[in-house]
């Protein structure tokens, strides 16, 4: 996916349609110069609706959209004619889209299922015509309701990728290399920080007939939860992953456990609920160390997470890793 085409944040001013006013009208006809009230009701204003589009992967189609508004409802008319409802506006968005109030940050709704179709802003109800207000003691009401006003607000649409397995690690941990080795995805790979600037998705076939989606999330740095580096922009994508695969390279300058602890802390500070997800720890680039060093390193690693040494270059333990991830997705760890 080209970097310039991956859009996961847009801010748009939405407005629903206002309701049409009810009519004040009295029937007039031959032989009936003073008939009763026959003012019709106003029509409903159009809704603003978000609808899931499984064929969309980003918010690119909305990148240059600043204003979206639904149609107003029509006024009521004499002869008990109800005004037409305003046309709804249906905005197609990818699965994983979250709508938030731009000022308060309140989550208004989320689109997570293929058939999701939710009202973001309801249109105003049409006003009642004067016919509605007639009674046995008040047979000629000369008033009607105005339609309800529209609702307008600035709303942020954020995309949180829906994937089964999310790769969590610092830049150069080997996440992109692993994704390219286990799927048909071809992310950019190079030996410098932040090679990956957009999330990449790949379908991994664990065994024949058993597959899952893996997401390569751009590298975290220490302090990402405070917005450092790429910060919050990509941490939110991890929230949608069912299983987290932490990756720490065998050639890191830091202690392996210390690096894992920093990653855990970044997730904890960003959203403590992330630590409730099943997780594995893969020590990547294991082709750079021998078996003796691997045995020496194992006792220094965290005891509360399953660990596997892998190499995407040589294929070491890659099938075992896929089996473990499949097991985690289907039964938990």
Residue 141 sits in a domain whose CATH number is 2.70.210.12
Mean pLDDT of the chain: 86
Q: Are residues 184 and 249 in the same domain?
A: yes
Asked if pLDDT for residue 333 goes beyond 60, the answer is: no
Q: Which residue has the higher pLDDT, 187 or 212?
A: 212
Asked whether the CA dihedral 248, 253, 257, 259 is positive or negative, the reply is negative
pLDDT digit string (tens) for 55-95? Answer: 887 888 998 999 999 999 999 999 999 999 999 999 999 98
DSSP assignment of 141-173, as one string?
Answer: ----PPPPPP-EEEEEEEE----SEEEE--TTS
Query: What is the predicted pLDDT for the residue at 66?
Result: 95
Examine the domain organization and report whether 305 and 278 are in the same domain.
Answer: yes
What is the extent of the structural domain holding 318?
Answer: 165-331
- pLDDT-derived band at 192 (thresholds 50, 70, 90) equals very low
Indicate whether 54 and 195 sit together in one domain.
Answer: no
How many structural domains comprise the chain? 2
Lowest mean pLDDT among 67-71, 128-132, 186-190, 328-332: 186-190
Q: pLDDT at residue 299 above 80?
A: yes
- Confidence check: pLDDT of 329 > 60: yes
The CATH number that applies at residue 236 is 3.40.50.300
* Predicted confidence (pLDDT) per residue in 102-131, tens digit: 999 999 999 989 889 999 999 999 999 999
305 in the same domain as 266: yes
Indicate the pTM of the whole model. 0.71
Per the structure block, which two tokens stand in for 243? 């299983």
* pLDDT score at 194: 43
Same domain, 78 and 226: no
**DSSP class of residue 116?**
-
**Mean pLDDT calculated for residue range 29-39:** 84
Place of tokens 């003691």: 137
Higher pLDDT, 27 or 225: 27
What percent of the chain is predicted at pLDDT more than 70?
A: 88
Among 95, 126, 159, the domain-final residue is 159
Quick check: 196 pLDDT over 50? no
Share of the chain above pLDDT 90, in %: 48
Same domain, 322 and 290: yes
Tell whether 152 and 204 lie within a shared domain.
no
Cα–Cα dist 312/300, whole Å: 23
Q: How confident is the model at residue 160 (pLDDT cuts 50, 70, 90)?
A: confident
Please give the residue that has the higher pLDDT: either 187 or 41.
41
- Residue 245: pLDDT band (50, 70, 90) is very high
230 Cβ contact list (under 8 Å, min separation 6): 194, 197, 218, 219, 221, 224
What is the reported pLDDT for 197? 55
Residue 209 is encoded by which pair of tokens? 């007939």
Task: Indicate if 114 and 148 belong to the same structural domain.
Answer: yes
pLDDT value of residue 186: 60
**Least confident segment among 137-151, 207-221, 249-263:** 207-221
pLDDT at 314: 93
| 139 and 182 fall within a common domain | no
Q: How far apart are CA 323 and CA 317, in angstroms?
A: 10
Is the pLDDT reported for residue 229 higher than 70? no
Examine the fold and report which residue of 105, 132, 159 is the final residue of a domain before the chain moves on: 159
- Same domain for 115 and 176, yes or no, is no
Calpha distance 45→20 (Å, rounded): 7
Residue that finishes a domain, picked among 159, 181, 198: 159
DSSP code at position 59:
S
41 pLDDT tier (thresholds 50, 70, 90):
very high
């Amino acid at each position: 996916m080209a970097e310039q085409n991956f859009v996961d944040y847009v801010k748009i001013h939405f407005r629903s349609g206002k309701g049409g006013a009810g009519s004040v009208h009295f029937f007039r006809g031959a032989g009936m110069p003073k008939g009763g009230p026959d003012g019709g009701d106003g029509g409903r204003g159009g809704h603003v609706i978000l609808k899931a589009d499984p064929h969309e992967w980003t918010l690119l189609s909305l990148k240059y959209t600043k204003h979206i508004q639904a149609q107003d409802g029509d006024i009521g008319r004499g002869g008990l004619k109800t005004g037409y409802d305003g046309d709804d506006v249906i905005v197609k968005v990818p699965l994983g889209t979250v709508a938030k109030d731009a000022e308060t940050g309140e989550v208004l709704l989320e689109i997570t299922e293929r058939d999701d179709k939710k009202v973001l802003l309801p249109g105003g109800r049409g006003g009642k015509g004067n016919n509605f207000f007639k009674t046995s003691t008040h047979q000629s009401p000369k008033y009607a309701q105005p339609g309800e006003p529209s609702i307008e607000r600035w709303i942020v649409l954020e995309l949180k990728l829906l994937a089964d397995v999310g790769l969590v690690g610092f830049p150069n941990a080997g996440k992109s290399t692993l994704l390219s080795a286990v799927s048909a995805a071809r992310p950019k790979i190079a030996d410098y920080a932040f090679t990956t600037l957009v999330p990449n998705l790949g379908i991994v076939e664990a065994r024949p007939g058993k597959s899952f989606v893996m997401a390569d999330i751009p590298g975290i740095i220490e302090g990402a939860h405070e917005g450092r580096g790429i910060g919050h922009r990509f941490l939110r994508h991890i929230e949608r992953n069912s299983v987290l695969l932490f990756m720490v390279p065998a050639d890191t300058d830091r202690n392996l456990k210390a690096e894992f602890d920093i990653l855990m802390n970044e997730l904890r500070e960003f959203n403590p609920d992330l630590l409730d997800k099943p997780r594995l720890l893969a020590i990547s680039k294991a082709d750079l160390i021998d078996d003796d060093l691997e045995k020496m390193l194992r006792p220094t690693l965290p005891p509360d997470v399953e660990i596997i040494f892998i190499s995407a270059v040589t294929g070491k333990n890659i099938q075992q890793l896929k089996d473990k991830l499949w097991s985690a997705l289907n039964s938990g760890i």
